[in-house]
Structure 1
Amino acid sequence: MAPSFEQSLPDTDVSTVKQKTFSYENPSRSKFPDGIKTSGQTEPLYDLLKPGTPLTGISQNNFHLPTLAPYLTAIRAELLNGKGFILFKMFPVTAFGLHKSAVAYMGLGTYLGYFVSQNGRGHVLGHVKDVGDDPSKIDKVRIYRTAARQFFHADDSDIVGLLCVARALEGGESDIASSHHVFNTLQREHPDVLRTLCEPIWYFDRKGETSVGQQDWIRTPIFYLETPDPEGKEQPRVYSKWDPYYVRSLTRFSDAGLIPPLSPAQQHAAAVLEETCQRLALHMILEVGDIQFLSNEHVLHARTAYKDSPPPEPRRHLMRLWLATPESEGGWRLPFPDSGHLKRGGIQVNDTRPVAPLDAE
């Protein structure tokens, strides 16, 4: 039988042999005339390995913008307390690609608010893209994952951002309307409709994106006021929460007698609200590289139905951010129990962790 390694070196410590084998310091010049020996393959020094920052970990602390930060602070104030929207042009999304675009876009977003999850899967970087879901199944399907028309609505966050990565072949155009202008117009033209919209009789579907023990719906008015300023210096502003898809998808519960169905007055109010928004809307077309930020507190937004280009052209694709701006940092005083929470609003299912996929899933 052939001798073992230990048998061939009976008087030598194996670890010493290995150490000498891998040593590349002070090699023999008789073997390595230039005095340098190739180091060979080694394992890393594990205590020196540091994990990279994931997209979900981007914050102002690690995304420094010393020149741009004061400008973004002013933009944030304009979003919260001014006209409520802004459009950036010529973001180099094509040159950057998806990953670098996501890093830069989310980095900008940290100066406007805190990322909140946009669905039950924890997506803090969302993707508005037709993935083939059936838009007629409104009790299960989120419309942003289809090519169907989106009626005027507000998302479940303080600020929403949309970065255009690819345009549709046809349609997919953007509309926004000031909820204050809409409110004042309804007060003047349809006071009965506005009264219905201000009553807490509206149920919103949660489409199964609920934590254990939560109801499958919430009840709220469409328009209501901020909570009073403790110092009495500011008048409460009108806040709006609306999405007709979430209101009309509840028949499975109303048919079972768990909640009341939409009354004729509510159906009329919903139609008048949509018509008024359309009449007062600002229409725009998002080009590739455009970023639209708007405040859900006082801007309602919509989009037209669209048709994608055939392959190999890319499908319409918008990267979306939902951002929270809590009271402690100048956000609106909302009549919700989480108004002071840093990441208020959004959609959180149990302890689902935040993730930031680079494309639609």
Structure 2
Amino acid sequence: MPIALPKELTSGQQEPVPELLQPYENFPKKISGPTVWQAEDFRSRPDLWQRQWTPELIQQLEEAFDKFEATGKTLPEINKVTFPLPSDVVDILSSIRENVVNGQGFILIEGLPVTEWPVLKSAAIYLAIGTIFGVTLSQNGKGHVLGHVKDLGNDPTQIHKVRIYSTSARQYFHTDAADVVGLLCLHKAMEGGESDVVSAHNLWNTLQVERPDVAELLTRPDWYFDRKGEVSDGQKPWVQKAAGLIPGHSKEQLEAIEVLEQTAQRLSLHMVLKVGDIQFVADTHVLHARTAYRDHLPPAPRRHLLRLWLATPESQGGWKRPFPDSANEKRGGIQVNDQAETCPLDAE
């Protein structure tokens, strides 16, 4: 049973409702529509997935920040009411949001002048932009609504307790515990740390043709997700997809994981986030990955991205999900007990 939390808190990772899970034979053999895309179509048409801030829009964002700052409110208090954006900005972002939520599922918005702004200003404007896409969620056991993707020197092999975003290791294709994930680049790595995205529906179609046995195996409700120690009182240390204790992966499952990764790599679109660029990706139908990276030596700043996890609840046109919190405003995310939301200005 899901843990009862105040509605203003993130609902957290929950196990699916068994009655809402579908057997493989009920899955479509081929998916069509705007969520299905091929990387080669976007490589030749950057105008389909890249946008730029104009000087006029930047000025409007700065004026909106000045008004918010004058209220004395803090970063965790940012929402559409406390930090309203100008109508021109809202109209553009709302159009982009529709394409992210129900279309291709990703976008790159270039040119936020973060090198000219203090981190607080960049963070506040970024959070305000995020409110157009969804409702902010806690991303870890510390309640971080403003996340920081930065190498803290953690050991990526300690997979039972270390989350890869706090290392410089490669991130394999995955989705996060949200509907939309956003990244704002404050500092680039010296080498690597670049992004890949792939249409999950194109990936599904390809597996149905090339490896239907893997597609079938991936739909079974017997996969498990480790909570990496971010566990509320009374919770199991993993998200359980079937009855019984957590087993090791079978030989067939290990092969399925490898086939999924290799196929996703082959079908993916590669992109590089420059300083000031924002990437939004729909976790509902796009998988994303990151290459390993090597950082600058001190005193140069290390690679640093601000991250948002956003819910697009059903009340805001979001997709229905087979989880008990599908109708919640702050569905998904990571919530440990009643930890309050925080917005630190650096990784911790």
1:175 aligns with 2:162: no
Q: Secondary structure at the match of 2:88?
A: coil
Two-structure CA RMSD over aligned residues (Å): 1.3
Give the count of matched residue pairs.
277
Q: Secondary structure at the match of 2:197?
A: strand
1:271 aligns with 2:291: no
1:207 match: 228
Task: Give, in whole Å, the separation in 1 of the partners of 2:241 and 2:344.
Answer: 32
1:101 match: 122
1:59 match: 79
Are the aligned partners of 2:179 and 2:311 in contact in 1 as well (CA < 8 Å)?
A: yes
Q: Secondary structure at the match of 2:117?
A: helix
Deviations for 1:254-296, whole angstroms, at most 9, x for unmatched residues? xxx9322100110000000000000000001111011000100
Q: How does 1:4-15 map to 2 (within 5 A)?
A: none
Task: Give, in whole Å, the separation in 1 of the partners of 2:130 and 2:93.
Answer: 9
Q: Secondary structure at the match of 1:110?
A: helix
Q: What's the offset of the Cα at 1:51?
A: 7.6
Greater relative contact order structure (CA < 8 Å, 6+ sep): 2
Task: Give, in whole Å, the separation in 1 of the partners of 2:195 and 2:104.
Answer: 17
Larger radius of gyration: 1
Task: Give, in whole Å, the separation in 2 of the partners of 1:181 and 1:301.
Answer: 14
Q: Which runs of 5+ in 2 are unaligned?
A: 1-69
Are the aligned partners of 2:187 and 2:275 in contact in 1 as well (CA < 8 Å)?
A: yes
Report the TM-score, using the length of structure 1 for normalisation. Answer: 0.75
Q: Secondary structure at the match of 2:141?
A: coil
Task: Give, in whole Å, the separation in 2 of the partners of 1:67 and 1:327.
Answer: 25
**Partner of residue 151 from structure 1, selected from 163, 167, 172:** 172
Q: Secondary structure at the match of 1:283?
A: strand
Task: Give, in whole Å, the separation in 1 of the partners of 2:89 and 2:277.
Answer: 18
**Partner of residue 319 from structure 1, selected from 306, 311, 317:** 306
1:251 match: none
**Partner of residue 334 from structure 1, selected from 321, 342, 347:** 321
Seq. identity, %: 58
Task: Give, in whole Å, the separation in 1 of the partners of 2:240 and 2:217.
Answer: 14
Q: How does 1:147-296 map to 2 (within 5 A)?
A: 147-220=168-241, 258-296=245-283
Report the TM-score, using the length of structure 2 for normalisation. Answer: 0.78
1:24 match: none
**Partner of residue 292 from structure 2, selected from 305, 312, 315:** 305
Q: Secondary structure at the match of 1:318?
A: strand
Q: What's the offset of the Cα at 1:52?
A: 2.1
Q: Which runs of 5+ in 1 are unaligned?
A: 1-49, 222-256
Are the aligned partners of 2:189 and 2:295 in contact in 1 as well (CA < 8 Å)?
A: yes
Q: Secondary structure at the match of 2:186?
A: strand
2:141 match: 120
Q: Secondary structure at the match of 2:142?
A: coil
> Given residue 249 of structure 2, which amino acid in structure 1 is its aligned partner?
L
Task: Give, in whole Å, the separation in 1 of the partners of 2:321 and 2:214.
Answer: 23
2:5 match: none
